[in-house]
Chain A
Amino acid sequence: MEKEKRKKKVLIKEKVLGMPPVMEELSTVGKSTVRVDAYAKVRGKLQYGGDIDYPGALHGKVLRSPHPHALIKKIDTEKAKSLPGVVAVLTAKDIPGRNGFGAIIPDQPVLCGDKARYIGDGIAMAAAISEDIAIQALELIEVEYEPLPAVFSPIEAMKPDAPQIHEKGNLLTTGKIRKGDTDKGFKEADVILERTYTVPILEHAYIEPDVVIAIPHPDGTITVKGPMQAPFTVRRNIAPVLGIPINKVQCVQTPLGGGFGGKEDSPIDIGARAAVLAWKTGRPVRMEYDREEITLSTCKRHPMIITCKIGAKKDGTFVALEGTIYNEQGAYASLGPVIPPAGGVHAHAVVMLPGPYVIPNVKVDGYLVYTNHPYGGAMRGFGAPQVNFVHESIIDELANLLKMDPYQLRLKNCFELGSETATGQVLDQSVGLKDTLEKARSEFHWNEKWKPAPGLKEVENADKRRGVGMAIGWYRTSIGTFGDGCGVNLHLQEDGSVLIFQGLTEMGQGSYTVLSQIAAEALGVNIEDVRVVAPDTDAAPESGPTVGSRSTTLMGNAILIATEPIKKSLIESASELLAIPMERLVLKNRRIYDRDDPSRFVDLKEAARRCMATGRRMMGQGWYAPPRPSLNPETGPGSPYFVYTYSTQMAEVEVDVKTGAVDVLNLVATFDIGKAINPIMVEGQIEGGVMMGLGYALMEEVVMKDGMIQNLNLQDYIIPTALDTPEIKPIYLEYLNVHGPFGAKGIGEMPNIPAAPAITNAIANAVGARIYDLPAHCERVYMAIKKRLAEGT
């Protein structure tokens, strides 16, 4: 058996893209090389969007609706226009082309014409010679509103008499899974548990504010520069808003000071508005949203209300699961709706709700509903953190009911190689979930630490109680719909250095470094010899958005493809220089040498020069798109994503019984990530994602009242600080992905997903009181303990 397993691993390895023959050592890939941008960052020299001085640029500001839902009866801009220093004051009627943008559906007005749909909606904007004057101009714009009844809950918004936010109604999209027969399944169950959970609106809280500079050119083109996760999506929106073809809009990415999905969406909004001001004035316009404006107006993590019912046999075997997701979209569609086969936050949430478990009978219904709240977009995990909290909470409670170790219950039911998912996808490769469980168990010392939740007396008499909890999860690599193709142009220079033109963005995750490592490995050069040029839509091929944990895997493959013609030219040249047949030549460590006699070599630089001199091809193009997804949105079956990353997380907490305050003491996080191209950066993704999950578990929530956000700045919207950091042990396992460069899968989002339920399950284990609503802040934990003590159960 063991032997067979090993054999299988080796076989897979041979099929993996880019992987050299089994015994050969990798030079750059798999090494913790220093980030290519580390020195500039540590010296304070890296130029972010807000650091660019553009003398003579106008400053743009947006007037925002104070009403969650209101008709706009009249806008008077005369006074604002006559303020000295004001160059333009624009309203909906001034938009040159389509008055709408959106990552999926252009349902959000650049400036509202007839009505406003949330507090923060754009109503008018001004451009002036200084930011102060632009702000004064906004104060002089007179708007007459007629407030309309507003709706703030997806369940309320689905009722027939609810205020209608958009013409086509409030139900934006649905989503389904149908597998087997859940009625029959529940009849076979010995234990059935049904629970309802809520998860809050979250703010990305990237530290760098949104900023763009839009520069119109005399030839009818326009440049928009700024931090963007998806320059091609921004461009695709700005062009129709200006009424010009896509090829006249140039989007240039500046280094991102954090994105986490938020800057997939917000640069469309700020970019389109600045572009319109620049277009209309004919002058460069700088626009920056301040912190409170970002919180008020840009996209959020979707809040959801989810009911889940699970049935199991006495021995713990899962037999049926049903779920209903009320997913609140807010005022505009952003990245929420389903794009068949499986794109959009909502589609992903539906697909992920049954968790990484084999369950024969599954029925999920999801409703994505407009309300008059801020709109939901992409945020690290794209719908998965919400539903992961649900399946990991209910399974933990089920283990309690069955009097089973929650570890054993998960191990019994979770995916392994060959498992079939709820949508009928057979996982035919790279499924290391069970090993992540086993590895976490031993590293965390689960067997020694875990014991059933305490009895009433033990909680009543305690000041502080410790507990442990765990959660597992899965996450896609890729976006599961159109636009998943990745293009790259690779240019060999005559001195052997390399330039990479591609369109995926560096937002701190380290993509430039990882992509440089992949190119360096394939071409046999050092990482310092490779430079990734910042994405510029005028120079880079279409690459899709920097989302879905797709950069390393998809762009990595495109780069490997692009290196092929360059390698061929180099080897041909070296063959001539060395008089050695091409098939014996190997590229490595800046040399091209004879495989049979490594003492015979030529410097790669020499070969590059010869390529130049002999007119050999010095560029390579790469295009990679993952295997096509398939999913029937009506009934659910299909393969939405081509490969998944898996994780187990275990947390130990201390709960202050008297106050409900929770301290996370330590956390082990294990992953199957295919192949770590850069181990230290993988650890960085894990630790950062876990801490964002800790925030989701314990403290983060955008608090709403009558449609208005109550915690606009970071003194009220609390994110974890260094004082909240427990000892985190990041561990990765490598179950090579045959469709990934050197076997890699995505890692950007997975760490963020099981952290929250691991922590809340630990709270339940510490005090025997369970949290059904995030975040588990101290009041909520205190009330849960109090309720348990009062009920005496």
Chain B
Amino acid sequence: MAKEKIQFEVNGKNVFLEVDPDELLIDVLRDHLGLKGTKAGCRAGECGACSVILNGRVVTSCLIPVMKADGGKITTVEGLEKDGELDPLQKAFVEKGAIQCGFCTPGMLLSAKNLLDQNPQPSIEEIKVAVSGVLCRCTGYQKIIHAIHSASKTIPGNEV
């Protein structure tokens, strides 16, 4: 298959690549760009471990043909940290015991990040809805939900 040129922004950096147009975004992120934080759990868009933020929406990157990301803006788990400083969500996940095996953690963090970007003061119910596309078999979700809620309180203007 003829290679296609593609350009997008990943974690604030412009990327130019030649790809097979039938490649999936997850494989381009993992195999071409070495961003292995994005995980493949089911390759059917069900487990949400491969969730990334694409143009302000959370998508399951295992279902996205890479050409759909052309010209787009992507955030993966590796992009949450800014200048060596963890995102408040990452800190909250660490402190509130929201991590067990860690395989769903990137997808959870990105779903939560996108929620807080759009709704800085979500209710518990809104948090549940926002992360319901990511399956976690370890934690039972409660500590994840609490961590996200607690992180939302650290956003400037949200402090209680």
Contacts and interface: CB of A to CB of B under 8 A. Distances in A.
Interface stretch (A426-434, A556-564, A679-687): A679-687
A307 interface: no
B4 to A, nearest CB: 19
Interface string B26-54: 00001000011111111110110100000
Contacts of B135: 205, 207, 714, 719, 721
Interface residues of B, number: 53
B101 A44 contact: no
Name A's interface SS: loop
Contacts of A44: 35-38, 76-78, 105-106
A41 B44 contact: no
B141 A725 contact: yes
Nearest to A42: B90
Contacts of A38: 93-94, 99
B151 to A, nearest CB: 12
Contacts of B80: 43
A687 B140 contact: yes
A39 B105 CA distance: 11
A721 B137 contact: no
A722 B100 contact: no
B47 A714 contact: yes
A291 B43 contact: yes
A32 B37 contact: no
A206 B102 contact: no
A772 interface: no
Interface string B121-160: 0000001110111111111111111000000000000000
B15 interface: no
A692 B44 contact: no
B153 to A, nearest CB: 18
B86 interface: yes
Interface in A253-308: 255-260, 290-291
B15 to A, nearest CB: 17
A721 B132 contact: yes
- Of B37, B77, B99, B106, the most chain A CB neighbours within 10 A belong to B99
A102 interface: no
Contacts of B77: 43-44
B137 A35 contact: no
A509 B131 CA distance: 22
Interface string A195-237: 0000000001111110000000000000000000000000000
Interface string B58-78: 000000000000000000111
A208 B103 CA distance: 6
Nearest to B87: A42
B47 A43 contact: no
A163 interface: no
A295 B137 CA distance: 15
A687 B143 contact: yes
A687 B76 CA distance: 28
A713 B46 contact: yes
B44 A725 contact: no
A208 B104 CA distance: 9
B23 interface: no
Nearest to A48: B103
B29 to A, nearest CB: 11
Interface in A710-732: 713-715, 719-723, 725, 727-728
A510 interface: yes
Contact of A258 (B76, B138, B142): B138
Contact of A688 (B38, B41, B86, B100): B100
A256 B42 CA distance: 16
Contact of B140 (A40, A48, A689): A689
A51 interface: yes
A723 B46 CA distance: 15
B100 A508 contact: yes
B116 to A, nearest CB: 15
A45 interface: yes
Nearest to A50: B40
Given A714-B47, A721-B132, A722-B131, A39 B40 contact: no
Nearest to B107: A207
B22 to A, nearest CB: 11
Contacts of B129: 722-723
A755 B39 CA distance: 30
Contacts of A510: 100
A507 interface: yes
B95 interface: yes
A193 interface: no
Nearest to A294: B42
B97 interface: yes
Contacts of B101: 206-208, 255-259, 507-508
B44 A691 contact: no
A205 B46 CA distance: 12
B35, B102, B131, B135 interface centre (most CB from chain A within 10 Å): B102
Nearest to A40: B102
A41 B41 contact: no
B140 A690 contact: yes
Interface string A466-502: 0000000000000000000000000000000000000
Contact of A41 (B35, B49, B105, B128): B105
A691 B103 contact: no
A34 interface: yes
Contacts of A690: 140
Nearest to A680: B97
A510 B100 CA distance: 7
A443 interface: no
A43 B43 contact: no
B137 to A, nearest CB: 5
Contacts of A713: 42, 44, 46
B81 interface: yes
Given A43-B77, A721-B135, A714 B44 contact: yes
A260 B105 CA distance: 18
A37 interface: yes
A318 B144 CA distance: 43
A44 B43 CA distance: 19
B30 to A, nearest CB: 8
B98 to A, nearest CB: 8
Given A41-B99, A687-B139, 16 more contacts: A44-B106, A45-B37, A50-B39, A207-B39, A207-B49, A208-B39, A257-B103, A258-B100, A258-B103, A687-B141, A688-B138, A691-B140, A713-B44, A714-B47, A723-B132, A727-B142
Q: Which 9 A-B residue pairings sit nearest by Cβ, starting from the closest? A: A44-B37, A508-B101, A257-B103, A41-B102, A691-B140, A44-B77, A508-B100, A687-B140, A714-B46
